[in-house]
Homo-oligomer: A and B are copies of this chain.
Amino acid sequence: MIGQQVADSIERRSGVSLWRQIADRILQAIAIGDFAENAALPPEVALAERYGVNRHTVRSAISALVQEGVLRAEQGRGTFVLSRKRLSYPIGARTRFSAGLQGQTSERHIVLLSSSIEPASQRVAEGLGLARGADVMRLETRGEADGRSVSRAASWFDARRFAGIDEAMAQTGSITASLARFGIDDYLRQSTVLSARHADAADLADLDLQPGAIVLVTVAVNVTPNGQPIQFSESRFPAERVELKLSAL
């Protein structure tokens, strides 16, 4: 047994079904590296014993992961790991989507899903240093790497200062490039608050997740080098595909 892999049992009558808990464990074991890519999982009977459940329950977990494209089951041979480990997404003073994932993926970009102008809510106004109710431009975006959805975010900008930033985003596919059109050559991450929760219906659809998945949530403010807030954002990352690596810049 590698590391301090705890032989933790499973919780009953928890509101989370046993098959989902086991699927979570398997996903995590893969992400941690307990199972190499293309390696065979232990046979169903062994897993059932290890988790203290019926073989059929293990089968439910596995079939969910097969559906999800993480595993491949072959009758008579075994069940094999397909999926890669989690992407490691760096967060620090200079967080950039594409720069951060360099080397880990061959292709990545941001897709603009929608944009709208709305009055600033309390927290958006605070984050951007505007009056509550002031016009803000809201961009809904999805980050993709190698065809997998790795993030889903809402960003808010001062609608007056950054009028037309939605078009810039659609054209460039990059926040950094879009801000450059408004004379912002550099920006820093001022603050990041991190939490986690179950994915809601919107997350499931946008990030192509299975129900019951967990998302990491960051709420952040980007500022110019001299401290003026320019972007307030809430991003959601699928915990099964992404981990956040904090660099203290």
- Please report the C-alpha to C-alpha distance between residue A10 and residue B200 in the assembled complex, in whole angstroms: 7
A243 nearest CB across to chain B (Å): 4
Q: Does A224 make an interface contact (CB < 8 A)?
A: no
- A20 in the interface, Cβ–Cβ < 8 Å? yes
Contact with B along A234-248 (1 / 0, CB 8 A): 000001000111111
- What is the bound-complex CA distance between A99 and B6, given in angstroms? 31
Closest chain B residue to A12, Cβ basis: B211
CA distance A26 to B19 in the complex (A): 25
Given contacts A196-B239, A216-B194, contact A16 B20 (CB under 8 A): yes
What's the Cα separation between A31 and B194 when bound, in Å?
13
Question: Once the chains bind, are A197 and B246 in contact (CB under 8 Å)?
Answer: no
Contact yes or no, B16 A15, CB < 8 A: yes
Q: Is the Cβ of B121 less than 8 Å from the Cβ of A2?
A: yes
- Residues on A facing B (Cβ under 8 Å): 2-4, 6, 8-17, 19-21, 23-25, 28, 31, 64, 86, 88, 91-93, 121-124, 138, 154, 188-189, 191-198, 200-202, 204, 210-212, 214-216, 239, 243-249
Known: A6-B200, A15-B211. 18 other contacts (CB 8 A): A3-B121, A4-B154, A8-B200, A8-B202, A9-B201, A11-B211, A14-B20, A14-B212, A16-B20, A16-B212, A86-B195, A88-B193, A92-B248, A189-B248, A192-B246, A192-B248, A193-B244, A196-B215
The 5 residue pairs across chains A and B that have the minimum distance between CB atoms? A14-B211, A15-B20, A196-B196, A11-B211, A192-B246
